[in-house]
């Protein structure tokens, strides 16, 4: 049976801790100047039907750093452009590769791919559904920067809570740690989907909506910011009516000394560039944690 990574729904606390421990071991091993060759002879296929910089490059780098190779397909330069279905493309890549990383604009697409694939499918984002590998790298970042997931932690989510698949997956994973509290701040029409709110409620985790970023930032241990997902608007004229938000140095002066600011990137205007030099801004470090976590994921699924 193939071991796919499609969502975080069935994850247990031990699974998360095991991924974190593997990623830490890999980081330590590489920091000592060692090289890894554990995926030598293996091929990873990256199949992206939506733009990507970090996810696609970090999977490729992760594979290369373990001695493996990568083949990449984008919809614009493949037979998808000639009308080939995703299913046929998945069948084809399964003939050449040992695993497939898939990003697709349709929610549920990775489940469909997994149902027909003869090699592991890794969901690298399915529309406004899930982004499980981002959730793992995000929780690895929180663990590494704040030291533990068992303490009381207030996570403030700011932005397009309706469409941010990174948030949807991360929240589900954080719910495995009972001392979390979530604060949600979003434009009115982009609130957290009721499906996620119910999930959090069932887990008995405290969640509140806030209207004031100035107030919410005072309490936060983590401020997780996302951009407005313009490409998910069915009526694009509504995009310009959305009130924009921005984390700047003045706002940061209200935050705890040990709070961290995260962002899956790409950013638009929601974090001012002046915040980049604040030591609490960890969104670039987050990418480095992502490389180790994606090595841990590939090592687990392909070894
Ligand atoms: C995110 C995504 O694609 O969901 N980016 C990422 O994977 N690092 C966030 C976004 O596009 O806003």
User: Which atom of ligand 1 sits closest to the CA of residue 55?
Assistant: 7
pLDDT, tens digit, 9 for 90 and up, residues 202-251: 999 999 999 999 999 999 999 999 999 999 998 888 888 898 899 999 99
What pTM was computed for the model?
0.96
Structural domain 13-131+289-301, CATH architecture: 3-Layer(aba) Sandwich (3.40)
Structural domain 132-287, CATH architecture: 3-Layer(aba) Sandwich (3.40)
pLDDT higher than threshold 80 for residue 178? yes
Active site residue 82: yes
Active site residue 24: no
Task: Tell how far the Cα of 266 is from the centroid of ligand 1, in angstroms.
Answer: 7
For CATH 3.40.50.1370, list the domain ranges present in the chain. 13-131+289-301, 132-287
Q: Range with the lowest mean pLDDT among 76-80, 237-241, 288-292, 294-298?
A: 76-80
* Strand order across the beta sheet in which 69-74 lies: 69-74, 43-48, 99-104, 121-126
Give residues with Cβ within 8 angstroms of 180, minimum separation 6: 152, 153, 154, 155, 174, 205, 206
> Contact, 189 vs 161, CB < 8 A?
no
pLDDT at res. 28: 97
**DSSP percent split of the chain into helix, strand, coil, nearest 5:** 45, 15, 40
* Ligand 1 pocket residues where CB is under 6 Å: 54-55, 125, 131, 134, 165-166, 226-227, 229, 264-265
> Can you read off the two tokens belonging to residue 251?
């706002």
Active site residue 131: yes
Which residue minimizes the CA distance to atom 8 of ligand 1?
Answer: 264
Distance from C-alpha of 182 to C-alpha of 200, rounded to nearest angstrom: 9
Detail the DSSP E strand segments found in the chain: 43-48, 69-74, 99-104, 121-126, 153-158, 180-185, 206-209, 222-225, 260-262
List the beta bridge partners of residue 281: 261
pLDDT at res. 2: 66
User: How many other β-carbons are positioned within 10 Å of the β-carbon of residue 281?
Assistant: 20
């Amino acid at each position: 049976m193939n071991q796919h990574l499609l969502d975080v729904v069935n994850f247990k606390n031990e699974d998360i801790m095991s991924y974190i421990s593997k990623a830490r071991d890999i980081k330590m091993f590489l920091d000592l100047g060692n090289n890894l060759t554990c995926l030598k002879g293996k091929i990873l296929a990256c199949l992206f039907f939506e733009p990507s910089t970090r996810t696609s490059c970090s999977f490729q780098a992760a594979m290369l750093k373990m001695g493996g190779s990568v083949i990449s397909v984008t919809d614009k330069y493949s037979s998808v452009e000639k009308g080939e279905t995703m299913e046929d493309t998945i069948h084809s890549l399964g003939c050449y590769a040992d695993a497939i990383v898939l990003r697709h604009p349709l929610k549920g697409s990775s489940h469909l791919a997994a149902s027909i694939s003869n090699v592991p499918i890794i969901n690298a984002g399915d529309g406004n559904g899930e982004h499980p590998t981002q959730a793992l790298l995000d929780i690895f970042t929180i663990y590494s920067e704040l030291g533990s997931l068992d303490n009381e932690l207030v996570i403030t989510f700011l932005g397009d809570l309706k469409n941010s698949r990174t948030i949807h997956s991360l929240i589900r994973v954080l719910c495995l740690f009972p001392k979390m509290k979530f604060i949600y701040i979003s434009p009115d029409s982009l609130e957290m989907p009721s499906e996620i709110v119910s999930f959090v409620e069932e887990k008995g985790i405290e969640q509140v909506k806030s209207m004031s970023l100035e107030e919410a930032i005072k309490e936060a241990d983590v401020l997780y910011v996302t951009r407005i997902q313009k490409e998910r608007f069915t009526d694009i004229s509504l995009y310009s009516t959305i009130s924009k938000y921005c984390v700047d140095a003045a706002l940061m002066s209200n935050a705890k000394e040990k709070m961290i600011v995260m962002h899956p990137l790409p950013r638009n205007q929601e974090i001012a560039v002046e915040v980049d030099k604040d030591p609490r801004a960890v969104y670039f470090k987050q990418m480095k944690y992502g490389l180790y976590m994606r090595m841990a994921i590939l090592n687990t699924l392909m070894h």
